[in-house]
Amino acid sequence: MYGVVKQDSKTATFSLYGGLKPPEFTLQGPFRKNYMIISWKKINLQRYYRVEFDIARNYRYDDKWIFVKEDSGIIRGEDNSYRTKALLLANDYVMNIKVTIYNELKEKSSNAIEEGIRVWYSTEGLTKLSLYTEDYKIIVNGNSTFKNAITHTLFRCTDEKFNEAKAIYTTSESNFVYEDSNVRSGVRYYYYIISSDDEYKSIISEIRSRKVNVKSFLFTNLDTKEVHNFNLDISADFDTLDGKVVVEYLGKATADIEQDTRHYQKGSFSCLIKIDDMQVIDRLFKAEKVSYRDSYGNGFICNLMNKKISYNDRYDRYVRLSFDMIENDSSKVFE
């Protein structure tokens, strides 16, 4: 007997199913495409599905095994198959595949395949990448020897096991340069490229990593004594000279210090800031004088001007701030 019995009271619901049978599915290898479709038999009592599996990925350049996990989430309706989102590479093993079914009472049953199934096809090219830092950005150079039309997708993560890798750039050019300015200071980033030919071939480049150090800039509102650290913890781009934030010497800044022979400094800044900090930022720009000090100990009294705000599509709750900083008195001592 199958069915759901509900009492008149709204407080009791119980099942007479006697338990769900495990889902039936089989897989045969080797896989010869860069994707996989998992299919299973469906009966009336099965209402929801979820597919979980791991890909054991052996990177050819360092012989390290990395597991890429994928979860289909809840599949509803009449569907009885799932196409994987992660690209399968020529040296992958697909393993630990698990299909779970649910009924309308959220009872569940699972079935799994544990052994690895080889992904095998020939590839006719190679993609290499190199990294270097410049102006507080990480520059990625990609070079591919594939002859046919192919798509190259650049991935980045901070986890050396690549659990949180995200695609940040896609191109069909054989040789390309990508400037990654959305990086945090002191964090090591790992990059790799997956090159894919339609739905049949997919290969990964070697993995490279790089870390960039971004200086912090401390501004103090001398009117309100508020201190704000432009720590630029997500990204920054500066014009610099010998490691100092000095881009232009203005000479004599004002008529009242005409006899002063010192050179005054002007810096142009661009960085990402939190939207929640905007009130403090606005008061800095309204202040008559602001003290400035960077992580190297350089400091002076300055004005902040030419503020421009633009919204950033890559990060929620952040905006890009661009402004000029002009020194007006570096002879004063301040904390």
Task: Give tens-digit pLDDT for 276-297.
Answer: 888 878 888 888 777 766 555 5
Q: Residue ranges of the chain with pLDDT lower than 70? A: 1-19, 59-63, 135-136, 185, 213-218, 228-270, 292-300, 312-316, 329-335
Q: Strands 81-83 and 37-39, how do they pair?
A: antiparallel
Q: Are 304 and 324 in contact (CB under 8 A)?
A: yes
**pLDDT number for residue 223:** 78
Antiparallel, parallel or unpaired: β 208-211 and 175-180: unpaired
The tens digit of pLDDT for each residue in 75-105 reads 888 888 999 988 898 888 898 999 999 887 8
Element (H, E) at 99: strand 92-102
Q: Could you tell me which residues come within 8 angstroms of residue 237 by beta carbon, excluding any fewer than 6 positions away?
A: 135, 136, 137, 181, 270, 271
| pLDDT at residue 215, as a whole number | 53
Tokens representing 303?
A: 């004005």
CA distance 271 to 235: 6
Residues with Cβ within 8 Å of residue 200, at least 6 apart in sequence: 32, 33, 34, 121
pLDDT of residue 211: 78
| pLDDT given at position 110 | 92
Task: Enter the pTM of the model.
Answer: 0.54
d(CA 87, CA 208): 20
